[in-house]
Amino acid sequence: LTSKLSEVFKKLTSRGKLSEQDVKAAMREVKMALLEADVNFLVVKKFIKTVSERAVGSEILESLTPGQQVIKVVNEELTNLMGSTVSKLTVASAPPSVYMLVGLQGAGKTTMAGKLAGYLKKQGKNPLLCACDIYRPAAIQQLKVLGEKLEIPVFEEGQKDAVKTALHGVQYAKDNGHDAVLLDTAGRLHIDTELMDELKRMKKAVDPHEILLVVDSMTGQDAVNVAQSFHDTLEISGVILTKLDGDTRGGAALSVKAVTGQPIKFAGVGEKLTDIEPFYPERMASRILGMGDVLSLIEKAQAAFDEKQAAKLEERIKSQKFDLEDFMDQLQQMKKMGSMSDILAMMPGMNASKLGNVELDEKQLSRTEAIVSSMTVAERQNPAIINGSRRKRIAAGSGTSIQQVNQLLRQFDSMKKMMRQFTDMERGGRRRGRMK
Ligand code: GDP
Ligand code: MG
């Protein structure tokens, strides 16, 4: 098992204070991780500079290696940069509090309006949803469906005038005892002046307590431009990141925060109306770095792995020669390190559930050993040749069943695929790195 960050950790073994060289080496990897997470290039540059300055010369904690120390600093700074957890919405001194949701089309505004309304209702508030996306009948209908599900009223005036709808909606809330209004506005695929102009007029008309920019966390590099234009025109008061349940690394969070300086208040983490969370900067930092729980993984790995064997294995993985004998070796190493699922869960960018059940136990390990030793050398080196009759022979020879042989071959396959992913990831990263 290889990972770029762990490679760096291995290289850095000196003690004392962090040298410029230690920091430089680690920073290259950090930079790559940030760029891969789609953090804007300029934001990355500035960040690396700040962190390097802080890290060079700093004392290395007794319990950490220099590499770990650098990562610790990086993680802290990243968390700082994204701000503390501010999931509170500004509340109006005289109700109703008016919250205006803005953002590009498909960012998740309508869904988030529903989620926020539900969230406020749970806190004992009496929210009103207001349909200000008047350009498509379907948009109004979408909000009404959400309102019905949540049992929260939806104010709408059809497709007449977005600004007036907002104004009348706020008045309706005042007259009917609603203490919060959520304005669901229209988005476009790209920022255009007509849309911005309408939003500006709406802001002027209703003077909202918060303007929340809803950003799809998969937006990537473009997040900076989106945030910049919305902030320039509307002076947003906060950000909401949606679709964090996807496999994005979430670099948009950092970019948007860096550009607007406004706090990220909530995160959308799924399509259900209850899929809303306060924003957690520490979690986001680890996610952006793609660290999983790299630090503890490294510690475990170093305790159990024979360095030479690891190097040999890495070589074989890289040359795609990984075969069933290596698989056996690997399983035995894994066994020393704890369960395979535990380890996979700690790998950056790895989702153990995707790999199915690869849990190992003692019995399974000896069964695996028996099965592999019943194979011929040719079979071990090229499992593809193991056809039906070979499977039968191997099962009989190892005192197992054909199903068990099949299961092992499947496990081997998924492990091989996973390893290919790692090496591809590494190659991809290097290639991109060279282009700069
Ligand atoms: P709008 O155009 O900004 O109003 O975006 P919508 O609220 O209509 O959402 C666009 C699509 O994204 C819909 O299919 C939503 O179900 C989906 N969506 C919104 N928020 C999330 C989220 O947090 N996670 C996931 N997986 N999908 C989301
Ligand atoms: Mg919408």
Q: Residue 141: CB within 6 Å of ligand 1?
A: no
Q: Using most ligand atoms within 8 A of CB, pick from 102, 109, 111 the residue to mutate for ligand 1.
A: 111
pLDDT at residue 176 greater than cutoff 90 = yes
Reading the block at residue 392, the tokens are 């039968």
Same domain, 111 and 152: yes
**Which ranges of 238-306 does DSSP label H, i.e. alpha helix?**
251-260, 281-289, 294-304
Residue nearest to atom 12 of ligand 1 (CA): 108
Look at residue 41 in the predicted model and tell me its pLDDT.
85
More confident call, 189 vs 230: 230
H/E run at residue 362: helix 362-373
Look at residue 317 in the predicted model and tell me its pLDDT.
64
Look at residue 80 in the predicted model and tell me its pLDDT.
84
More confident call, 426 vs 385: 385
The parent domain of residue 389 ranges over: 294-435
Tell me, in angstroms, the distance from the centre of ligand 1 to residue 235's CA. Answer: 23
Of 243, 261, 282, which marks where a domain is finished?
282
CATH, residue 372: 1.10.260.30
Nearest one of 129, 132, 127 to 95, comparing CA atoms: 127
Bridge partners of residue 129, in order along the sequence: 154, 182
User: Is the ipTM beyond the 0.95 threshold?
Assistant: yes
Nearest one of 109, 101, 108, 147 to 128, comparing CA atoms: 147
Question: At 425, is the pLDDT very low, low, confident or very high (cuts 50, 70, 90)?
Answer: low
Domain-embedded: residue 417: yes
Classified as helix, coil or strand, 181 is strand
Question: At 120, is the pLDDT very low, low, confident or very high (cuts 50, 70, 90)?
Answer: very high
Same domain, 119 and 258: yes
d(CA 228, CA 262): 12
Same domain, 377 and 273: no
pLDDT at residue 337 greater than cutoff 70 = no
Question: At 284, is the pLDDT very low, low, confident or very high (cuts 50, 70, 90)?
Answer: confident
CATH, residue 175: 3.40.50.300
Of 226, 248, 282, which marks where a domain is finished?
282
Look at residue 64 in the predicted model and tell me its pLDDT.
62
CATH, residue 71: 1.20.120.140
Q: Residue 329: CB within 6 Å of ligand 1?
A: no
Domain-embedded: residue 89: no
pLDDT at residue 113 greater than cutoff 90 = yes
Burial 81-101 (b: 16+ CB within 10 A, else e): bbbeeebebeebeebbbbbbb
- The annotation status of 161 as a binding-site residue, yes or no, is no
pLDDT at residue 395 greater than cutoff 50 = yes
Q: Number of structural domains, the chain? A: 3
Ligand 1 atom with least separation from CA of 101 = 3
CB 202 within 8 A of CB 162: yes
Same domain, 277 and 298: no
Tell me, in angstroms, the distance from the centre of ligand 1 to residue 108's CA. Answer: 4
Bridge partners of residue 240, in order along the sequence: 214, 266
Look at residue 334 in the predicted model and tell me its pLDDT.
63
CB 314 within 8 A of CB 2: yes
Ligand 1 atom with least separation from CA of 115 = 20
pTM for the model stands at 0.66
Q: Residue 270: CB within 6 Å of ligand 1?
A: yes
Of 247, 282, 317, which marks where a domain is finished?
282
Same domain, 299 and 277: no
Look at residue 427 in the predicted model and tell me its pLDDT.
54
Question: At 423, is the pLDDT very low, low, confident or very high (cuts 50, 70, 90)?
Answer: low
Three-state SS across 56-107? Answer: CCCECCCCCCHHHHHHHHHHHHHHHHCCCCCCCCCCCCCCCEEEEEECCCCC
- The annotation status of 109 as a binding-site residue, yes or no, is yes
Tally of CB atoms within 10 A around 134: 21
Q: Residue 106: CB within 6 Å of ligand 1?
A: yes
More confident call, 186 vs 356: 186
Classified as helix, coil or strand, 231 is helix
Domain-embedded: residue 90: no
Reading the block at residue 148, the tokens are 């019905």
Of 325-329, 334-338, 376-380, minimum mean pLDDT range:
334-338
- The annotation status of 103 as a binding-site residue, yes or no, is yes
Q: Residue 243: CB within 6 Å of ligand 1?
A: yes
Q: 40-61: per-residue pLDDT in tens? A: 888 899 899 988 888 887 776 6
Q: 145-160: per-residue pLDDT in tens? A: 999 999 999 999 999 9
List, in order, residues 6 or more apart from 153 with CB less than 8 Å away. Answer: 128, 129, 147, 178
- The annotation status of 104 as a binding-site residue, yes or no, is yes
Ligand 1 atom with least separation from CA of 276 = 23
Query: Span 227-246, mean pLDDT?
Result: 94
